[in-house]
């Protein structure tokens, strides 16, 4: 049966602002980043976006994917032998790996995520992938599996290459996925730690996290990763948790990446709030009924639908009604008729079942003949 899809601008702004405090209404955050995104980890909902699907240079944010592939295809207690290629990496942050040294994959991962060591990612790639090129193929395969359509990797550490790119949206999706790995989640919120070698056994190096937000007094900061090159500019994927709600902020090519992320977090935690979009048993639509004592049946919301959003965006909320073109009688009260889908900025933010709010019995044969004759 063909579905009738009606797209309606939901003019809830005037109604709902009556029950939303005026103090909650605030403008979306102004960020200096060329590309930015704020994502709710729990729901996957985009809370704020700026050029979020435009390609950008990820710099060391690349290491988020390097870590994911290492965690999923390697064993953290495996011992890797440092190659000449890994030892030769000297640009940017490094832990000064030397050819022939032995160090566990777990320690290399620690260096990659805490102090963004570029030499450690090459050692990770060669150990897990057999060689650097094969590991990069694994990174791209994982990106495809996660649906990161705007992402392509050429290396493991984020050195600039015209064919190495991503988007703010892809980075947020990737970070959300990566934070599901307990070890990743632990390392990206570690302020200071020490890396230990297997050989030489007395070698160690103290590390300090490059993410300054971890050392700030901003409430709830718990990750994730910095990135900086002359091409990419200053980049940051940050996360913060309050009241069991975690947000991910992405700022690419930013003049002030830390303040950009704080502004997005302030918006997400203080402005965006639960708003009741539709109440249980609220009439949403009238469905055509054939062969019934009534020609229509009212479709009501099965339950209340509450979504998190900026109250300023209420007039922009769209509703798509997904119901059959008609329904044959009888229709029983409580019978599912379809769904109402609510969309904001092109993204679904919630949906609710539509059920019959009343019985519509089948008409007698004489009534059906009459209806057919004068339809």
Residue positions annotated with a catalytic role = 60, 63, 116
Tell me if 111 sits within 8 A of 117, measured CB to CB: yes
> What is the dihedral angle through the alpha carbons of 142, 143, 144, 145, rounded to the nearest 10 degrees?
50
Q: What share of the chain is helix, strand, coil (3-state, %, to 5)?
A: 30, 35, 35
Give the C-alpha distances (Å, rounded to integers) separating 53 from 145, 168, 184, 361: 18, 6, 25, 51
Q: Transcribe 270-338 into DSSP letters.
A: II-EEEEEE-TT-EEEEEEEESBSSSEEEEEESS-EEEEE-GGGGGG-EEEEEEES-EESPB-TT-EEE
Q: How far is CA 45 from the centre of its chain?
A: 7
Tell me if 105 sits within 8 A of 77, measured CB to CB: yes
Which DSSP symbol is given to 18?
T
Q: Which residue has the tokens 């004068």?
A: 374
Nearest to 153 by CA among 34, 288, 143, 145: 143
The two tokens of residue 148 are 């990161």
The DSSP bridge pattern shows strands 283-290 and 327-328 to be parallel
Q: How far is CA 121 from the centre of its chain?
A: 25
SS3 148: coil
């Amino acid at each position: 049966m063909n579905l009738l899809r009606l797209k309606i601008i939901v003019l809830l702004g005037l109604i709902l602002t009556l029950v939303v405090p005026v103090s909650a209404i605030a403008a979306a955050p102004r960020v200096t980043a060329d590309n930015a995104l704020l994502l709710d980890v729990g729901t996957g909902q985009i809370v704020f976006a700026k050029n979020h699907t435009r390609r950008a240079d990820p710099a060391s944010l690349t290491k988020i994917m390097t870590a994911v592939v290492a965690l999923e295809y390697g064993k953290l207690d495996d011992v890797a032998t440092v190659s000449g290629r890994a030892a030769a990496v000297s640009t940017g942050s490094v832990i000064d790996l030397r050819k022939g040294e032995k160090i566990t994959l777990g320690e290399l991962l620690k260096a990659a995520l805490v102090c963004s060591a570029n030499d450690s990612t090459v050692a990770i790639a060669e150990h897990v992938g057999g060689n650097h090129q094969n590991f990069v193929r694994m990174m791209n395969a994982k990106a495809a599996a996660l649906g990161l359509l705007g992402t392509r990797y050429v290396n493991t550490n984020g050195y600039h290459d015209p064919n190495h790119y991503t988007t703010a949206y892809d980075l947020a999706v990737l970070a959300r996925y990566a934070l599901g790995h307990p070890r990743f989640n632990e390392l990206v919120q570690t302020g200071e730690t020490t890396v230990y070698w297997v050989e030489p056994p007395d070698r160690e190096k103290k590390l300090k996290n490059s993410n300054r937000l971890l050392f700030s007094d901003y409430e709830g900061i718990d990750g994730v990763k910095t990135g900086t090159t002359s091409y990419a500019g200053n980049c940051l994927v940050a996360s913060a948790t309050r009241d069991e709600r975690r947000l991910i902020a992405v700022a690419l090519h930013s003049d002030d990446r830390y303040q950009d992320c704080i502004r997005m977090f302030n918006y997400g935690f203080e402005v965006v709030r639960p708003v009741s979009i539709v109440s249980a048993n609220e009439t949403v639509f009238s469905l055509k009924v054939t062969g019934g004592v009534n020609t229509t049946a009212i479709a009501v919301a099965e339950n209340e639908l509450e979504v998190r959003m900026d109250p300023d965006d209420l007039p922009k909320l769209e509703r798509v009604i997904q119901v059959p073109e008609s329904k044959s009688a009888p229709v029983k009260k409580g019978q599912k008729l379809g769904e109402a889908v609510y969309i904001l900025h092109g993204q679904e933010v919630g949906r609710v079942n539509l059920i019959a709010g009343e019985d519509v019995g089948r008409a007698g044969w004489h009534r059906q003949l009459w209806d057919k004759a004068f339809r």
